């Protein structure tokens, strides 16, 4: 989900729906090319395997299929097949992969807090994230972020853990930062930090005005600048997509179109309006406002629905959160198919990996996906997270290691509550959760205004 420079790929053939082989679980994860800093992520999206490769701020996504059982896959892009092969260590565990002439090693170097969701076994619900950490000191917040070299090929992250700063390099290794010296320089403060190793060590020098964000860091490797998406409070500019035509024209065409035909037997549609379940469920339906990635309203009403079993499971998740002082803030639920087509038709090729293909439909269309976050029951303020909602950047990944301890804890708490009740987080968006029975419901295309919603 890197917003800066996305490599557009031709649409892939759909795999036959059904359960994926159990051994795929050991393939899913992060991989690093040790000499260039390139990264790869293997994702399981509803029983279909994908590989995302990243080079600096550019990302490409490839749909993978198997011609025969084993560790070798083929991409299914229409312009030619590429082979992706995994390799194992002497113990038989996946050690890395080879793809497009590059060798990536399995990234097992993340030093996360104990009992984080990311440490849970593959396919298992996320673990409870432990005690709530303290809020990050204000003087550290402006120093946190993602920084890139001049070619935007090498990126490191400054993050906070236990009220201390760490540098996470492009290889995934974290280094504790120690303040070497600080002093006034005009109306700014000049600071120098050094990593907690004798050799080799990082030395970071920068200037900061008050608690404002720092924008440039000077190192022995050269200057690094804060990448565009990485302002501490978030920036909606990383979300915006310039539509390919007027939304009015795109909407008219989408409403006239027909969803893909599906075969099989599906459960009866039984959508529940979420605000009817509990007063602690609040709405912030962005697609009914101009505060969305298209910069214009797409929904005609600010409402949210889920199929009854999914709605009841979400209510149970809320019951887990309320004693801890949190409610649920809903951004989206059931999404009529025509809206998915609007998103697809409005988005340029360079951004289509961020939106669902209407030819396949989405789990939102089936009423079994929800976009949501936490809010504080005392203050009614949304909880701090590692990224904004719908942010098209690495900060949106559920395992993004940056940000503050409190942001990561909030993200982990939401994931723990939802996955404990039968949802699964989407691999590229911490806010998106799919209910386990999504495949038992057909694609829906009824506008909100025409929904016949049964009482709870």
Phi, psi at 351, each rounded to 5°: -120, 5
Q: Is 159 helix (H, G, I), strand (E, B) or coil?
A: strand
d(CA 92, CA 408): 32
Residue 263 makes CB contacts below 8 A (sequence gap 6+) with none
Nearest CA to 157 among 430, 411, 394, 407?
A: 394
- Both tokens assigned to 289: 């406002």
Quote the tokens at residue 358.
Answer: 């209407």
φ/ψ (deg, to 5) at 64: -115, 140
- Contact (CB, 8 A) for 386 and 411: yes
**CA count, 13 A, side-chain hemisphere, 141:** 15
Catalytic sites, residue numbers: 429
Look at the block and give the residue holding tokens 């619900």. Answer: 125
Per the CB < 8 A criterion, the answer to whether 44 and 20 are in contact is yes
DSSP 382: B
Residue 323 token pair = 């004693």
Nearest to 305 by CA among 211, 435, 407: 435
> Dihedral, CA atoms, 224, 226, 229, 234, nearest 10 degrees?
160
d(C-alpha 288, C-alpha 301), whole Å: 6
CB 340 within 8 A of CB 358: yes
Rounded CA-CA distance 315/330 in Å is: 12
The residue to which tokens 């990050």 are assigned: 136
Phi-psi region of 370 (alpha: psi -120 to 50; beta: other; left: phi over 0): beta
State the CB neighbour count (10 A cutoff) for residue 70: 10
| DSSP state letters, 106-128 | E-----PPTT-GGGSPTTSPPPP
Q: What tokens appear for 272 in the block?
A: 């529940």
For residue 42, give both structure tokens.
């293997």
Token pair 């979400």 is at which residue?
314
């Amino acid at each position: 989900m890197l917003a800066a420079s996305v490599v557009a790929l031709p649409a892939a053939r759909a795999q036959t729906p059904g359960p994926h082989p159990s051994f795929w679980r050991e393939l899913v994860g992060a991989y690093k090319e040790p000499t260039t800093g390139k990264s790869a992520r293997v994702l399981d999206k509803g029983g279909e395997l994908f590989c995302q490769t990243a080079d600096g701020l550019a990302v490409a996504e490839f749909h993978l299929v198997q011609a025969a059982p084993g560790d070798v896959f083929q991409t299914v892009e229409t312009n030619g097949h590429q082979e992706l092969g995994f390799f194992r260590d002497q113990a038989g565990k996946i050690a890395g992969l080879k793809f497009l002439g590059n060798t990536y090693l399995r990234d097992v170097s993340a030093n996360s807090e104990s009992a984080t969701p990311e440490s849970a076994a593959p396919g298992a619900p996320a673990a409870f994230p432990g005690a709530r950490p303290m809020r990050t000191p204000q003087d550290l917040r402006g120093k946190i972020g993602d920084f890139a070299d001049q070619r935007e090929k090498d990126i490191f992250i400054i993050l906070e853990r236990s009220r201390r700063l760490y540098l996470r390099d492009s290889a995934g290794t974290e280094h504790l930062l120690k303040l070497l010296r600080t002093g006034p320089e005009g109306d700014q403060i000049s600071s120098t930090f050094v990593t907690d190793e004798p050799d080799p060590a990082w030395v970071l020098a920068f200037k900061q005005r008050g608690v404002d964000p720092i924008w440039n860091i000077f190192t022995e490797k050269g200057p690094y600048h804060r990448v565009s998406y990485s302002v501490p409070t978030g920036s909606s500019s990383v979300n915006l997509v310039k539509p390919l035509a007027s939304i009015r024209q795109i909407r008219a065409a989408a409403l006239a179109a027909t969803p893909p035909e599906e075969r099989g037997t599906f459960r009866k549609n039984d959508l529940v309006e979420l605000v009817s379940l509990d007063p602690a469920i609040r709405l912030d339906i962005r697609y009914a406002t101009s505060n969305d990635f298209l910069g214009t309203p797409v929904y005609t009403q600010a409402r949210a629905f889920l199929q009854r079993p999914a709605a009841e499971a979400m209510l149970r998740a809320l019951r887990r959160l309320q004693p801890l002082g949190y409610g649920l803030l809903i951004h989206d639920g059931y999404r009529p198919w025509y809206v998915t087509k609007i998103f697809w038709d409005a988005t340029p090729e360079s951004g289509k990996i961020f939106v669902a293909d209407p030819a396949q439909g989405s789990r939102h269309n089936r009423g079994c996906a929800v976009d949501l976050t936490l809010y504080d029951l005392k203050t009614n303020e949304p909880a701090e997270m590692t990224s904004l909602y719908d942010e098209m950047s690495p900060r949106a990944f559920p395992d993004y290691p940056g940000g503050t301890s409190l942001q990561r804890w909030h993200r982990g708490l939401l994931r723990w509550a939802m996955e404990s009740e039968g949802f699964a987080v989407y691999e590229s968006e911490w806010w998106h959760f799919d209910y386990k029975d999504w495949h038992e419901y057909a694609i829906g295309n009824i506008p909100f205004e025409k929904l016949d919603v049964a009482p709870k």
